Homo-oligomer: A and B are copies of this chain.
Amino acid sequence: MAHQHSQDNPEMQQCIQMCQECHSICLQTVTHCLHMGGMHAEEAHIKLLLDCAEICQTSANFMLRSSDLHAEICRACAVVCERCAEDCERMGDDVEMQRCAQTCRRCAESCRQMAAMMAA
Contact = CB atoms under 8 A, between A and B. Distances in A.
Number of copies: 4
A62 B54 contact: yes
Interface residues of A, number: 43
A51 to B, nearest CB: 5
Contacts of A34: 41-43, 46-47
B16 A24 contact: yes
23 contacts: A5-B28, A6-B28, A16-B24, A20-B24, A24-B64, A27-B65, A31-B43, A31-B65, A31-B66, A34-B42, A34-B47, A35-B43, A41-B41, A47-B67, A51-B62, A51-B69, A55-B73, A57-B57, A69-B79, A72-B76, A72-B79, A73-B76, A75-B76
